Amino acid sequence: MDRNTGIKVYLVAVVCAVTTGFSFLAAKKALVWGNPLESLFFRFAVGFLFAAVLVGLKVVRTDLRKKKMGPLLIPALLYSAGFFGFQFFGLLYASSVEAGIIMAAQPAITMILAELAIKEKPTKAQRVCVFAAILAAAFISAYGSGGVDTVDIRGIILILMSTISLSANIVYIRWIRDDYTPAEISFVSCAIGFVIYSVAAVIYGASNSGLGDIFANLSEPGFVISILYLGIACTMLTTLMNSYVMRYLEAVKASVLGCIGTVITLLAGFFILGEELGAMQILCSAVILLAVVGTNYFGAKKNG
């Protein structure tokens, strides 16, 4: 990877982390008006529509006519049904704080899966950096919002399954990165998610009060804004950005970059919302940033 490409890759990774950093808040806001199924249906409807427009206008290019579709179903299911599905339903029972703590473990899960599945071998220094980032992110999530008062095991399990799905998706994309472009992976993921949640929404509406109630929330500006952000920024664009980053960075490097989102969320709360920012939170943010730099500085061992 040359210098210019490297700058682009890391810039995209940081933008993706920042975008994802606000996803928990947007998801919680959407759940105020709609249930998880309704929110997921609109999220992927918006994401797929936006992706289709970009492909139709040739802003992004795909060529799936001569490629096998089977391998693309796996990341689509892991990302749309696994990561997003478990996350949305998990947030019914888990707070954003609890979800943040569990999601902080994602780089370690990714590191283990990458080592087992695609034989990426992190150095000892990288392992230390990963676990330092996890501890710091978990501390910020736990104490940045006053701690966790109650724990619902259903939420813990669902958010953990969401985290594992995301890690597995990262590793799998690394495996197929030479066969499919980021745009192809992103487009199919959005399309499969749209199909899954459209069918689920129709079944849900038919078995309850009817399909009309599903669209009733579109009259709520807060719901619409949350869904637009989740569908365009946190679904279609993050899928595209993640797939692009996976082409160039080892799984452990890419996953630990996601911890930057924790720092960005903390700083945004301080500068925009006027939330308190303590010395320990500043220290943990510094640890995360140093861990991200360290993980990407100390290269993984060569396979073999």
- The pLDDT averaged over each successive group of 10 residues in the chain (304 residues) is 89 89 75 82 94 91 87 91 84 73 85 93 92 86 56 84 92 93 93 92 76 78 91 92 92 86 71 71 87 83 46
Residue 199: C-alpha distances to residues 78, 89, 203, 229 (Å): 18, 17, 6, 22
- Model pTM score: 0.81
Q: Residue 177: how many CA atoms within 13 Å on its side-chain side?
A: 20
The pLDDT score that the predictor gives to residue 96 is 65
CA angle 294, 114, 255 (to 5 degrees): 45
Helix axes 279-297, 124-143, angle to 10 degrees: 150
CB 89 within 8 A of CB 158: yes
- The 3-state DSSP class for residue 96 equals helix
Scan for tokens 């802003």, then name that residue: 59
The pLDDT score that the predictor gives to residue 138 is 81
Phi and psi at residue 145, to the nearest 5°: -120, 25
Scan for tokens 């692009």, then name that residue: 244
The pLDDT score that the predictor gives to residue 215 is 82
Write the pLDDT tens digit of every residue in 70-125: 999 999 999 888 988 898 788 778 776 677 678 778 898 999 999 999 999 899 99
Question: Which residue in 160, 154, 144, 116 sits closest to 262, CA to CA?
Answer: 144
